[in-house]
Amino acid sequence: MAGREFAFDPPDRFVAGTVGQPGERTFFLQATGQGRTVSVALEKLQVSALAERLDELLDEVRRRQGADSSVPAVSPPQLEDVAPLDAPVEEEFRVGTLALAWDDDDSLVIIEAQSVQAVTEDEAAAPSDLETDADMLRVRLSPAVARAFAKRALRVVAAGRPPCPLCGNPLDPEGHICPRQNGHLHVTAS
């Protein structure tokens, strides 16, 4: 059975966002267009890695294209999206794999998010074919929109709990068990 494919070429809106309070947030990618909204859940580290790699990809394309590059060096202010995720946020699937590519013919960024797949021993031993039962979200973005997405995604990731000044792990309001304090509770002064 083939998985579902949600394709947006281009989306009206593509953003990273969260639901919940810092420390208990669920991260989402959300694409909107053609009268539909698709939300897929993923990990904070996946959002961070996607945004960082996206900026690196755009920087590399800009470097290779030289002076006549269509890739902006920074996110255009008019494309900044600070609105919350469109409600209701209904998870279509949980992301297992992210892919990022540059379409040189159309000068577009392609982002693919594929669902987590459980693999049985029989499937692991058998050679794989091209058909998969994984769900897929695919968006094609202009370089300017991709820069704006990356900027917002990094801001969303940074909006979580502050890091412990001793170990760097996320710090809860009531403190945390800090490895640098030999397992004792570390509480910051407010």
Domains, the chain, ranges and CATH? 5-159 (3.30.2450), 162-190 (no CATH)
User: What pLDDT is recorded for position 160?
Assistant: 80
pLDDT at 124: 55
pLDDT of the residue at 176? 73
Q: Which amino acid is at 103?
A: D
pLDDT at 170: 76
Give the number of other Cβ atoms within 10 Å of residue 68's Cβ.
5
What pLDDT shows up at residue 126?
Answer: 57
Beta bridge partners of residue 170, listed in sequence order: 163
Residue 40 token pair: 């897929």
Contacting residues for 96 by C-beta, under 8 A, at least 6 apart: 114, 115, 116, 117, 134
Whether 135 and 5 have beta carbons less than 8 Å apart is answered as yes
Q: What share of the chain is helix, strand, coil (3-state, %, to 5)?
A: 25, 30, 40
The pLDDT profile of the chain, 190 residues, written as one tens digit per residue, is 679 999 999 999 999 999 998 888 999 999 999 999 999 999 999 999 999 999 999 999 999 999 889 899 999 999 999 999 999 999 999 999 999 999 999 999 999 999 998 655 565 555 555 556 899 999 999 999 999 999 999 999 998 877 778 787 777 767 777 777 776 666 665 5
The pTM (predicted TM-score) of the whole model is: 0.82
3-state secondary structure of 15: strand
- Residues 6 or more apart whose CB falls under 8 angstroms from that of 162 comprise 170, 171
Q: How many CA atoms lie within 13 A of 168 on its CB side?
A: 0
